[in-house]
Amino acid sequence: MEVIWAPWRMEYILSDQKAGECIFCPGVDRKRDEQRLILFAGPLTMIMMNRFPYINGHLLVSPVRHVPDLSGLSGEERLDLMDMVDKSVTVLKKVMGPEGFNIGLNLGKVAGAGVESHMHFHIVPRWAGDTNYMSVLAEVRVIPEHIRETYSKLLPHFKEFNPISGGDA
């Protein structure tokens, strides 16, 4: 029997899932950023790691403002959001060397939005052969690196972003 190690899942299983707290609303307290896997929180856009990733390096990019869809964003917010998606891809290429990306936005519950009241982009790095029979037959994902280790590798690159202008990578 193969053992799949995913110790960060226990935190989710045992948590009381704080009712009413949106994971995409960064708040003003930066002390919990590491615990929440927040890599960057600027005035308009936030970048965090997906706690339950499809694969290592799966990032979530959202507006800071609690908005359900693109039409609710200002032009400045849309521009900053797309700029941060682009900068996130640049960091992932530099740190993890993926061969491609899936970048998507799920709007509405039927489209797969887990948090439909606060829109967010998924950035999923991809490598040839990164999916296998485990996902298809057992509905299990194998994540080869601990999420905290990936966070530690990515964080220094996101700290280089300028939080006033939206950042430079």
Give the residue numbers annotated as catalytic, written as ranges.
120
| CA distance to 48, 73, 112, 113, 159, per residue, from 122 (Å) | 10, 18, 11, 10, 20
**Six token digits for residue 24:** 């995409």
| 85 backbone dihedrals φ, ψ, rounded to 5° | -60, -45
**Six token digits for residue 25:** 């609303």
For residues 23 and 34, what is the distance between their CA atoms, to the nearest angstrom? 13
Considering only CA atoms, which of 6, 13, 151 is closest in space to residue 92? 151
